Amino acid sequence: MTPAGFEDLKGKRVYIETYGCRYNFGDTAKLKEILKHRGCILVTSDDRADAVIINTCTVIAVTERRMLRRLSRFCDRELYVTGCMPMVQQDAIKAVCSPVIIPPGSIHQYYKRCGTVSPDPVGIVQVAQGCCGHCTYCVTRIARGALKSYPVQEVLSQMRAFIRQGAAEIQLTAQDVSAWGQDTGTSCADLLNACADLSGNFYVRVGMMNPATLLPILDDLIEAFTLDTIFKFIHVPVQSGSDRVLRTMGRGYCSDDFEQIVAAFRKKYPSLTLATDMIVGFPGETNEDFLESLELLDRTRPNKVNVTRFSKRPFTAIADTKELPDATKKDRSRIMNSRAQQIYHAINAPLLGQTVQFVVTEKIRNGSVMARTPSYLGVVLDENLSVGCTGQARLQKEHMYYFSGNRGAGDTGKKPDKSSPVLCTP
């Protein structure tokens, strides 16, 4: 949508639905600021809205079908569509509705004219758009285009704005965060080092980094993570433990590269929290390939594994490749999720009863908050604590992806002095 197009929404009540990754949610946050700038009123239900915006995702077929159902529901409304889907599947969209298309790239360009952020406990800061990968199965790289890194001062300016508004957690996001700077002669390590210039009570979560772009800057990036304000957390999607499958995927690395990255980070930060992604049922994946993926999980022991059944996407290099039977994909997904859950419990069990440092990052509901340890473990505390408060909590129960805990006696839950950030690891 061009800037003039936003005039059509001026002064209207607008309802927004957002799907997909953190990057999409970052686009929505920018959209909200643009709409407020145009005098719009944001509403929380579509029946109160004059216009509806759907921020779409099309990463897998089941998501695409859900998007089309939602768009069909609003086909008789004043409807605007953004996200990845309209960039690659306008014909499918037009088959169910006739919306105004908002190119996602235009959101960032117009947002820069507003330059504001709303108070939010978690600030999503986009550091780049697009990627430099050549994955044979990925439609997102087609939708988002080539890598375009945003200037470091622009990124820092948005971070400062969120910090001034009281955000305790800043999430740096992109299609591939570790690719930042490859198009401008800098690196992600330079970006993280620049965060040392920021002041305030906040912590940074670095978003998804692909092994192919992370490995060349591994040492510098590990050193950059020593900043007290950076959570010791990495999300590095490996996608398969089979080198043969990785070559077919066009990922640009081998399984040993992933293990090297994990080992190097853990050597420096033993309490590191590791998240990864796996695709099961990729075309041509054999039982032996699948077993190699399970064995890789056993060796690297991630704290979180996002398991996805392969889904053929249009316009990709393998769009016409024969898929494995659905039953095979379902079985492998079930087996891998079960193996991953065993790993979670094995990692979490020794932590029960330990006392950890925390910072409150979000209010879940009245009387309950989400807190994070320096290594980004989630701890739910059933208290009304303010975002940004720090303290110590005893881990009492594990729920695979997070813990529930209680604060120690005498812990006041006060916000920290700016000169004394919480540094302790669990």
Specify the pLDDT at position 421. 40
Specify the pLDDT at position 126. 97
Specify the pLDDT at position 413. 55
Specify the pLDDT at position 5. 57
pLDDT, averaged across the chain: 92
Question: Final residue of a domain: which of 52, 74, 107?
Answer: 107
For residue 4, name the pLDDT band (cuts at 50, 70, 90): very low
Residues 97 and 226 grouped into a single domain = no
| Burial annotation 284-296 (CB, 10 A radius, 16+ → b, else e) | ebeeebbebbbeb
| Cα–Cα nearest to 372, from 416, 418, 422 | 422
Each residue of 344-379: pLDDT tens digit? Answer: 999 999 999 999 999 999 999 999 999 999 999 999
Specify the pLDDT at position 8. 82
413 found inside a domain: no
From residue 74, alpha-carbon distances to 47, 80, 96, 310 in Å are 11, 10, 9, 29
Each residue of 117-134: pLDDT tens digit? Answer: 777 889 999 999 999 999
Cβ–Cβ < 8 Å for 380, 403: yes
Specify the pLDDT at position 221. 98
* DSSP summary character for residue 392: E
Specify the pLDDT at position 110. 85
Residues 199 and 342 grouped into a single domain = yes
Residues 90 and 205 grouped into a single domain = no
Each residue of 269-309: pLDDT tens digit? Answer: 999 999 999 999 999 999 999 999 999 999 999 999 999 99
- What secondary structure does DSSP assign to 235-262, as a single string? E---B-S-HHHHHHHT-SS-HHHHHHHH
Beta bridge partners of 54: 17, 81
83 found inside a domain: yes
Average pLDDT over residues 194-216: 96
Tell me how far apart the terminal alpha carbons of the chain are, to the nearest angstrom: 47
Specify the pLDDT at position 121. 85
Residues 232 and 180 grouped into a single domain = yes
Residues 399 and 337 grouped into a single domain = no
123's enclosing H/E stretch is strand 122-126
Residues 176 and 221 grouped into a single domain = yes
Query: What is the span of the domain harbouring residue 365?
Result: 352-407
Reduced DSSP (H G I as helix, E B as strand, rest coil) percent helix, strand, coil of the chain, to 5: 40, 25, 40
The CATH number assigned to the domain holding 388 equals: 2.40.50.140
384 found inside a domain: yes
> Rounded distance, CA 342 to CA 36, Å?
47
Cβ–Cβ < 8 Å for 251, 242: no
The two tokens of residue 205 are: 């979560």
Average pLDDT over residues 184-202: 96
Of the candidate ranges 108-117, 184-193, 235-244, 415-424, the one whose mean pLDDT is the lowest: 415-424
Specify the pLDDT at position 425. 31
The CATH number assigned to the domain holding 23 equals: 3.40.50.2300
* pTM for the structure as a whole: 0.92
Average pLDDT over residues 172-197: 97
Residues 13 and 95 grouped into a single domain = yes
Specify the pLDDT at position 108. 87
Residues 394 and 310 grouped into a single domain = no
Residues 279 and 196 grouped into a single domain = yes
Cβ–Cβ < 8 Å for 157, 198: no
CA 399 to chain CA mean position, Å: 21
Rg (CA), the chain: 22
415 found inside a domain: no
Instruction: Give the up-direction half-sphere exposure of residue 413: CA atoms within 13 A in the CB hemisphere.
Output: 16
Specify the pLDDT at position 411. 59
Question: Final residue of a domain: which of 77, 107, 137?
Answer: 107
| Cα–Cα nearest to 14, from 43, 34, 36, 37 | 43
Which residues are within 8 A (CB) of 80 and not within 5 positions of it... i.e. 6 or more apart? 1, 9, 51, 52, 53, 54, 99, 100, 101, 102
Specify the pLDDT at position 204. 98
147 found inside a domain: yes
CA 225 to chain CA mean position, Å: 18
Of the candidate ranges 93-107, 113-127, 378-392, 406-420, the one whose mean pLDDT is the lowest: 406-420
Average pLDDT over residues 46-56: 95
* DSSP summary character for residue 101: E
Residues 216 and 194 grouped into a single domain = yes
Residues 321 and 359 grouped into a single domain = no
Specify the pLDDT at position 115. 67
Q: Is 396 helix (H, G, I), strand (E, B) or coil?
A: strand
Q: Is 388 left (phi over 0), alpha (psi -120 to 50) or beta?
A: left
Is residue 410 predicted with pLDDT exceeding 80? Answer: no
From residue 190, alpha-carbon distances to 181, 217, 345 in Å are 8, 10, 36
Residues 82 and 185 grouped into a single domain = no
> Rounded distance, CA 295 to CA 273, Å?
19
332's enclosing H/E stretch is helix 326-348
38 found inside a domain: yes
Question: Final residue of a domain: which of 107, 132, 147?
Answer: 107
Query: In the chain, how many domains are there?
Result: 3
The CATH number assigned to the domain holding 290 equals: 3.80.30.20
Question: Phi and psi of 185, rounded to 5°?
Answer: 85, 15
> Rounded distance, CA 26 to CA 144, Å?
14
Cβ–Cβ < 8 Å for 358, 406: no
Each residue of 372-401: pLDDT tens digit? Answer: 999 999 999 999 999 999 999 999 999 999
In degrees to the nearest 10, what's the CA dihedral of 188, 257, 425, 119?
A: 40
The two tokens of residue 138 are: 């990925």
424 found inside a domain: no
417 found inside a domain: no
The two tokens of residue 83 are: 């996200």
